[in-house]
Amino acid sequence: MAAPLGQIELDAEAAEGVEAPQEAERAISGRSPAQIAWYRLRHDTVSMIALVLCGVITLLAIAAPFMASAKVLQPYEFHNNLVGGLGSMPTGGWGGISWSHWFGVEPQTGRDVLSRVLLGVSFSLLIATCATLLSVLIGATLGIISGYMGKGTDFWISRFMDLILCFPQTLMLLALSPVLKQRITDLGVPPGTATSAVYLIIVLGFFSGPYFGRIMRGQVLSLRNREFVEAARSLGAKRRRIWVKELLPNLWAPLIVFASLTLPLNVSAEAALSFLGVGLQAPTPSLGNILFNSVNFYSADPAFFYLPGITLVLIVLSFNLLGDGLRDALDPKSAR
């Protein structure tokens, strides 16, 4: 027997009453800060392009040493048949560019430029990443202790950071090179590439740390009197637990932004120091020493100069744009 029309209308209204709260609950469901940041980032076209480029560059940098071991890349192989005799220019146009050598070959030696550039990117990113992590560790430690302790501890740590910031970084890197490299070798690090890499990591990380330390100090000053810190302190939590468990998780946004903006600076700094002769030395490839070698052939073989230079510019630009995008995405005061 068919239900009365009034009953059908009541059943429909009851069904709508059940569905309406569910729709409203979905509409007002909250999002975490990470979800909000990702939403902002993926709606920024430039940042997403930079993210893809950074991912591709990182994957190539990770794969380059393995490809070199498997002889897919040949950064150290001399191809005398690709130059007009040892010490001559590459045969063919555009520096010997071909399907076998996409960036051409190196003048005088015939070494594959693309292989050397990819392995150089691997070394540069490794050094820059380690230096960035060291600077984050130094800056976070100094900033948290200084901001939380206050008084005399804050004064002396702040003056120490100001003192480090007074030194011209490039000049100190050049001046400290022979002394620190000898000390690093005396500690048992193999001389050559390993010593130069450790030297660059230590010096770049040390001189970048105070910049981040001042940022972290300001953030901690605004957090140390918040309710969750006071609650942890009233429950008898030790200082180290408050620093690690309470303060540090609330500092991840400036930490990520600083790391993403410092990494490209360290890449360019490593290239500049290798160009000046205090970084990685030949035959170990680096973007800096490749550019140094290419300057002598700027007119005769412009591809040897431009292609590694464009690669360096692309790496620094991609990471800088990604850092800017992360800063905007993680900033709660930016427009939504």
pLDDT at 49: 92
Of 28 and 90, which is predicted with more confidence?
Answer: 90
Angle, helix 113-149 to helix 193-223, in steps of 10 degrees:
40
How far is 192 from 26, CA to CA, in rounded Å? Answer: 60
How far is 146 from 161, CA to CA, in rounded Å? Answer: 10
- The SS3 call for residue 203 is helix
Single-letter code of the amino acid located at 51: L
Mean pLDDT of 228-235: 84
Tokens of 60: 């190539």
Of 84 and 167, which is predicted with more confidence?
Answer: 167
Predicted confidence (pLDDT) per residue in 3-30, tens digit: 554 554 445 455 555 444 555 455 545 6
Predicted confidence (pLDDT) per residue in 91-103, tens digit: 776 777 888 878 8
CA 228 from centroid of its chain's CA atoms: 32
- The SS3 call for residue 105 is strand
- DSSP assignment of 16-83, as one string? HHHHHHHHHHHHH----HHHHHHHHHHT-HHHHHHHHHHHHHHHHHHHHHHHHHTTSS-SS---GGGB
How far is 236 from 215, CA to CA, in rounded Å? Answer: 28
Tokens of 281: 């030395």
pLDDT at 314: 93
Burial of 98 (0-12, 13-18, 19+ CB in 10 A): middle
Q: Is the pLDDT of residue 134 over 90?
A: yes
How far is 231 from 327, CA to CA, in rounded Å? Answer: 30
- Distant-in-sequence, close-in-space partners of 174: CB < 8 Å, separation ≥ 6: 273, 276, 278
Give ∠ CA 245-246-250 in degrees, rounded to 5.
Answer: 110
Burial of 187 (0-12, 13-18, 19+ CB in 10 A): exposed
Query: 90 - beta bridge partners?
Result: 83
Correct CATH for 45-75+105-330 of 1.10.1200.10, 1.20.1050.10, 1.10.3720.10, 3.90.550.10: 1.10.3720.10
Predicted confidence (pLDDT) per residue in 29-81, tens digit: 567 767 777 888 888 888 899 999 999 999 999 999 999 888 888 888 887 76
CB-CB contact of 90 with 301 (8 Å): yes
- What residue has token string 């015939």? 110
Model confidence at 310, pLDDT cuts 50, 70, 90, reads very high
